[in-house]
Amino acid sequence: MHVYRLKRTQILPVSLDAAWDFLCRPEHLRDLTPPGVRLTVTSDLPDRMYTGLIITYRLGLYSMFYFNWVTEITQAEPLSYFIDEQRSGPYRFWHHEHRLRSVEGGVEMKDLVHYALPFGVLGRMVHAAIVKNQLNAIFDYRREALADRFGRPVH
Protein backbone atom coordinates (compact mmCIF):
# COMPACT_ATOMS: atom_id res chain seq x y z
CA MET A 1 0.00 0.00 0.00
CA HIS A 2 1.44 3.36 -1.03
CA VAL A 3 0.53 6.11 1.46
CA TYR A 4 0.44 9.67 0.14
CA ARG A 5 0.78 12.81 2.22
CA LEU A 6 -0.84 16.22 1.80
CA LYS A 7 0.32 19.03 4.06
CA ARG A 8 -1.09 22.55 4.23
CA THR A 9 -0.51 25.52 6.53
CA GLN A 10 -2.57 28.70 6.69
CA ILE A 11 -2.59 31.72 8.97
CA LEU A 12 -6.02 32.98 9.97
CA PRO A 13 -6.01 36.54 11.38
CA VAL A 14 -8.46 35.71 14.18
CA SER A 15 -8.34 34.47 17.75
CA LEU A 16 -7.88 30.81 18.54
CA ASP A 17 -11.39 30.79 20.04
CA ALA A 18 -12.94 32.17 16.83
CA ALA A 19 -11.08 29.70 14.60
CA TRP A 20 -11.95 26.72 16.79
CA ASP A 21 -15.58 27.81 17.15
CA PHE A 22 -15.98 27.72 13.37
CA LEU A 23 -13.93 24.60 12.63
CA CYS A 24 -15.43 22.43 15.38
CA ARG A 25 -18.94 22.79 13.97
CA PRO A 26 -19.53 19.97 11.49
CA GLU A 27 -22.14 21.93 9.51
CA HIS A 28 -19.36 24.21 8.24
CA LEU A 29 -17.82 21.36 6.27
CA ARG A 30 -20.21 22.26 3.44
CA ASP A 31 -18.89 25.84 3.43
CA LEU A 32 -15.34 24.55 2.99
CA THR A 33 -16.05 22.09 0.18
CA PRO A 34 -16.19 23.08 -3.50
CA PRO A 35 -19.67 22.90 -5.04
CA GLY A 36 -18.37 20.55 -7.74
CA VAL A 37 -17.78 17.86 -5.12
CA ARG A 38 -21.53 17.83 -4.46
CA LEU A 39 -21.12 17.00 -0.79
CA THR A 40 -24.28 15.98 1.03
CA VAL A 41 -24.07 15.16 4.72
CA THR A 42 -26.45 12.25 5.30
CA SER A 43 -26.18 11.96 9.08
CA ASP A 44 -27.58 14.22 11.77
CA LEU A 45 -24.98 16.70 12.95
CA PRO A 46 -24.45 17.91 16.49
CA ASP A 47 -23.63 21.55 17.24
CA ARG A 48 -20.00 20.65 17.94
CA MET A 49 -17.75 17.76 17.11
CA TYR A 50 -16.57 15.31 19.73
CA THR A 51 -14.38 12.24 19.90
CA GLY A 52 -16.31 9.31 18.48
CA LEU A 53 -18.59 11.38 16.23
CA ILE A 54 -19.52 9.49 13.07
CA ILE A 55 -20.39 11.59 10.00
CA THR A 56 -21.80 10.10 6.82
CA TYR A 57 -21.66 11.81 3.44
CA ARG A 58 -22.45 11.33 -0.19
CA LEU A 59 -19.98 12.81 -2.67
CA GLY A 60 -20.58 13.34 -6.36
CA LEU A 61 -17.50 13.49 -8.53
CA TYR A 62 -17.84 14.29 -12.20
CA SER A 63 -21.32 13.65 -13.50
CA MET A 64 -21.62 9.92 -12.97
CA PHE A 65 -19.62 8.88 -9.90
CA TYR A 66 -21.08 9.00 -6.42
CA PHE A 67 -19.42 7.72 -3.27
CA ASN A 68 -20.69 7.15 0.23
CA TRP A 69 -18.17 8.13 2.86
CA VAL A 70 -18.14 7.51 6.61
CA THR A 71 -15.65 9.30 8.84
CA GLU A 72 -15.08 9.27 12.57
CA ILE A 73 -13.61 12.02 14.72
CA THR A 74 -11.13 9.78 16.52
CA GLN A 75 -9.53 12.51 18.62
CA ALA A 76 -10.53 16.05 19.54
CA GLU A 77 -8.74 18.39 21.91
CA PRO A 78 -10.57 21.73 22.10
CA LEU A 79 -8.57 24.73 20.87
CA SER A 80 -5.76 22.44 19.73
CA TYR A 81 -6.55 19.67 17.22
CA PHE A 82 -8.90 17.05 15.90
CA ILE A 83 -8.43 13.99 13.72
CA ASP A 84 -10.89 12.46 11.30
CA GLU A 85 -10.43 8.98 9.89
CA GLN A 86 -12.33 7.20 7.16
CA ARG A 87 -14.30 4.19 8.32
CA SER A 88 -15.80 3.44 4.91
CA GLY A 89 -15.45 5.15 1.57
CA PRO A 90 -13.41 5.72 -1.55
CA TYR A 91 -9.97 5.53 0.07
CA ARG A 92 -8.18 2.47 1.31
CA PHE A 93 -6.84 4.65 4.14
CA TRP A 94 -7.61 8.24 5.24
CA HIS A 95 -6.23 10.03 8.31
CA HIS A 96 -6.63 13.82 8.50
CA GLU A 97 -5.06 15.76 11.33
CA HIS A 98 -6.18 19.38 11.86
CA ARG A 99 -3.97 21.42 14.22
CA LEU A 100 -4.43 24.96 15.50
CA ARG A 101 -2.10 27.16 17.52
CA SER A 102 -1.91 30.82 18.38
CA VAL A 103 0.81 32.73 16.58
CA GLU A 104 1.59 36.40 16.20
CA GLY A 105 -1.18 37.87 14.09
CA GLY A 106 -3.69 35.08 14.56
CA VAL A 107 -3.89 31.31 14.34
CA GLU A 108 -1.76 28.87 12.43
CA MET A 109 -3.89 26.09 11.01
CA LYS A 110 -2.07 22.97 9.83
CA ASP A 111 -3.57 20.07 7.95
CA LEU A 112 -1.76 16.80 7.54
CA VAL A 113 -3.53 14.13 5.51
CA HIS A 114 -2.20 10.62 4.99
CA TYR A 115 -4.20 8.63 2.48
CA ALA A 116 -3.99 5.58 0.25
CA LEU A 117 -6.05 4.38 -2.66
CA PRO A 118 -7.23 0.86 -3.36
CA PHE A 119 -6.33 -1.18 -6.45
CA GLY A 120 -2.53 -1.19 -6.25
CA VAL A 121 -0.85 0.01 -9.45
CA LEU A 122 -4.18 1.11 -10.92
CA GLY A 123 -4.81 3.19 -7.79
CA ARG A 124 -1.40 4.85 -8.19
CA MET A 125 -2.23 5.69 -11.80
CA VAL A 126 -5.61 7.15 -10.79
CA HIS A 127 -3.86 9.15 -8.06
CA ALA A 128 -1.41 10.66 -10.54
CA ALA A 129 -4.09 11.37 -13.15
CA ILE A 130 -6.98 12.55 -10.96
CA VAL A 131 -6.94 12.23 -7.17
CA LYS A 132 -3.81 14.26 -6.37
CA ASN A 133 -5.05 17.25 -8.39
CA GLN A 134 -8.57 16.93 -7.04
CA LEU A 135 -7.43 16.90 -3.41
CA ASN A 136 -5.20 19.90 -4.05
CA ALA A 137 -8.15 21.73 -5.63
CA ILE A 138 -10.36 20.92 -2.62
CA PHE A 139 -7.76 22.23 -0.17
CA ASP A 140 -7.14 25.31 -2.37
CA TYR A 141 -10.88 26.02 -2.27
CA ARG A 142 -10.91 25.59 1.49
CA ARG A 143 -7.97 27.98 1.89
CA GLU A 144 -9.85 30.65 -0.08
CA ALA A 145 -13.13 30.01 1.75
CA LEU A 146 -11.39 30.46 5.11
CA ALA A 147 -9.57 33.57 3.90
CA ASP A 148 -12.87 35.02 2.65
CA ARG A 149 -14.49 34.30 6.00
CA PHE A 150 -11.69 35.38 8.35
CA GLY A 151 -9.50 37.61 6.18
CA ARG A 152 -5.94 37.32 5.02
CA PRO A 153 -2.99 37.94 7.31
CA VAL A 154 -1.27 41.31 7.13
CA HIS A 155 2.37 40.89 6.16
Count the domains in the chain: 1
C-alpha torsion sign, points 80, 53, 57, 40 = negative
Indicate whether 155 belongs to any domain: no
Nearest to 116 by CA among 5, 21, 19: 5
pLDDT tens digits, 102-123: 999 999 999 999 999 999 999 9
CATH number of the domain to which 64 belongs: 3.30.530.20
Supply the range of the domain harboring residue 79.
4-150
Tens of pLDDT, residues 39-73:
999 999 999 999 999 999 999 876 678 899 999 99
Residue 14 lies in a domain: yes
